[in-house]
Amino acid sequence: MKTTCKLFLLICFLFIENQNILAQLTAGKIIYERKTNLYKKFKFDDVKDWLEPADKNKTDIFELYFNDSLSLFKIQDSDLKERMGWATSKNTVYQNMNANTRLTIKSVWGEELYVADTLYKRHWKMTDSKRNISGYNCRKAIWKANDTTTIYAWYCDEIITSVGPESFYGLPGAILGLATEDGGVIYFAKSVEISKPDVALLLPKKTKSKIYSFKELKGKLEKDFGKNPWGKAMIKDLFGIW
């Protein structure tokens, strides 16, 4: 009788452990919806004169593919004509956690510019605040980017790979929600698909284009466009917190 009881308890233990392992996901695809308040992004005195209230909020859809060490973040392909497409950035970001490398493809007025760098280090403050995003329980973390900008992130430790939108990572789980403190830019996961993406998809393709460092590209754009308000706004957006 004791042997049967011990065997039953062992089976229960192995079942629970197996469920825990299955619950800790390491690969998949996340669809994000990004909402940008253009009145908050373009803080010019006359912004409301040329930007209609109907166009104040811009929505973009992105895809994040990842495994336990690689990730690709990109705009979702669409055949639909985009309204106000010029108003928001649409970076493609490859990250390699094992090699500590990042390759970003930035679209600057129709031209794709390649930028290579190490992973962006951020110092997060963990909190006890929680919320549910796309069916996953998430915890809130805070990063103070600078004196004027604070970022809130909600991460899910069921998905243990440290990934997120844009270049964000570094939390003990996937970031399913991300927002600036003023609500000017907000990312939220609309769906999570558990799958194993092809490794070839997660690796940047070879290019004949010049690959800049962040310092080189920022210097080039400041020289070419940094003398006017629009150029300054573009450079701040491209080389800010994302």
Q: Measure the CA–CA gap between 109 and 16, rounded to whole angstroms.
A: 53
Q: Does residue 235 have a pLDDT over 90? A: no
Contact by Cβ (8 Å): 52, 39: no
Q: Measure the CA–CA gap between 64 and 242, rounded to whole angstroms.
A: 15
Specify if 14 maps to a domain.
no
Task: Give Cα 121 to chain centroid, integer Å.
Answer: 14
**What's the longest Cα–Cα distance across the chain?**
85
Work out the percent of the chain whose per-residue pLDDT is above 70.
90
Q: Does residue 219 have a pLDDT over 60? A: yes
Q: How many domains does the chain have?
A: 1
CATH number at residue 127: 2.50.20
Full residue range of the structural domain in which residue 181 is found:
26-238
Specify if 189 maps to a domain.
yes
Alpha helices by DSSP H, the chain: 2-23, 38-41, 47-50, 199-202, 214-225, 229-238
Tens digit of each residue's pLDDT (9 = 90 or more) over 33-75: 999 999 888 777 677 777 888 888 999 999 999 999 999 999 9
Specify if 123 maps to a domain.
yes
| Structure confidence at residue 102 (pLDDT) | 97
Specify if 21 maps to a domain.
no
Residues 6+ apart with CB under 8 A from 60: 33, 34, 36, 75, 88, 90
Query: 34: burial class by Cβ within 10 Å (0-12, 13-18, 19+)?
Result: buried
Dihedral sign for Cα 93, 35, 126, 138, please: negative
Q: Does residue 164 have a pLDDT over 50? A: yes
Q: Does residue 238 have a pLDDT over 50? A: yes
Structure tokens that stand for 137 in this block:
């329980």
Specify if 4 maps to a domain.
no
Q: Measure the CA–CA gap between 35 and 115, rounded to whole angstroms.
A: 25
- Write down the mean pLDDT value for the chain: 87
Task: Give Cα 190 to chain centroid, integer Å.
Answer: 13
Residues 6+ apart with CB under 8 A from 18: none
Tens digit of each residue's pLDDT (9 = 90 or more) over 98-142: 999 999 999 887 789 999 999 999 999 999 999 999 999 999 999
| Structure confidence at residue 78 (pLDDT) | 87
Specify if 15 maps to a domain.
no
| Structure confidence at residue 147 (pLDDT) | 87
Specify if 10 maps to a domain.
no
| Structure confidence at residue 24 (pLDDT) | 64
